[in-house]
Amino acid sequence: MATRIVDYDPSITEPSRLELVSIARWLKDNSKTVYLVGGWAVYYHTKASERPPGKFGEAIFDKSKFDDPLGFAALGSKDIDLIFETKAAKEEFEEKYCRQNGYRKSGPTPKELVKHIGKIGVILDPDLLSNFWNVRKTKVGWKDLVGHHAKLELDDDASILAPTKELLLLYKCIALVERTDDRGKPNQNVVRLDSKIWKDANDILALHDTGINAEALESLAKDAGFAGILAAAKQIISENYENYGFRQYAFAKKFLEGKN
């Protein structure tokens, strides 16, 4: 699988980001507690760590760490993934915000909503805090958000809750493993899956490279029952690293070798 970075060009992702800011303001005005997960949570967790390109020995940052022809830039998302505390809160949001702002249930999966802005389709994927499912015989879900979240600042007057970086990394590992398994099943949209698999791998490395508490990650993976998922995700990325075309992750090798 070659790099899919062109799938996430700002011309494609910026309409989604602006919609996220609009949603965050509505949630604040209506006193709703909602968690942002997925690619936009990664973007806002890592954006402060953006760095310019640099050459080893001449870089303005730590010379021992970076031979950095591309630098690091946070990568946006096409989808907005939101977790609601209750079914009533989710339905109120869909009725009072989504319907009033042009969203329709015509997404790739039944629960997704889509808003078309020019040629760009912004996909909104709402879910419930109580939901769970199984990935490689591991029960996964959103319940750990309650004890492991942080506030992300979006634009000037907009903010939203999101997983801590460690929990978000684990959620991205779950997505990577699940989508990799789905790719081998019949009747799959392989082009869409490949784009999302590449993005999951990118997001995992971006979160790690911009600062993860290794002890917290290990402890959380163990307590949540996600240690096997974390190991499987590292294996998938290791096996495909060269094909993914990643060039901006200085600490990827250390992480993928299990040294966190």
Q: What is the pTM of this model?
A: 0.91
- The closest of 120, 131, 90, 124 to 107, measured between CA atoms, is 124
Q: CA of 161: how far to CAs of 27, 112, 158, 227, 238, in Å?
A: 11, 21, 11, 24, 31
pLDDT tens per residue across all 260 residues of the chain: 567 888 999 999 999 999 999 999 999 999 999 999 999 999 999 998 887 776 655 545 554 354 556 678 899 999 999 999 999 999 999 999 999 999 998 767 778 999 999 999 999 999 999 999 999 999 999 999 999 999 999 987 899 999 999 999 999 999 999 999 999 999 999 999 999 999 999 999 999 988 899 999 999 999 999 999 999 999 999 999 888 888 777 778 778 887 65
Domains and CATH numbers, the chain: 5-259 (3.30.460.40)
Question: Using a CB cutoff of 8 Å and minimum separation of 24, what contacts does 66-69 make?
Answer: 66/250, 68/248, 68/250, 69/247
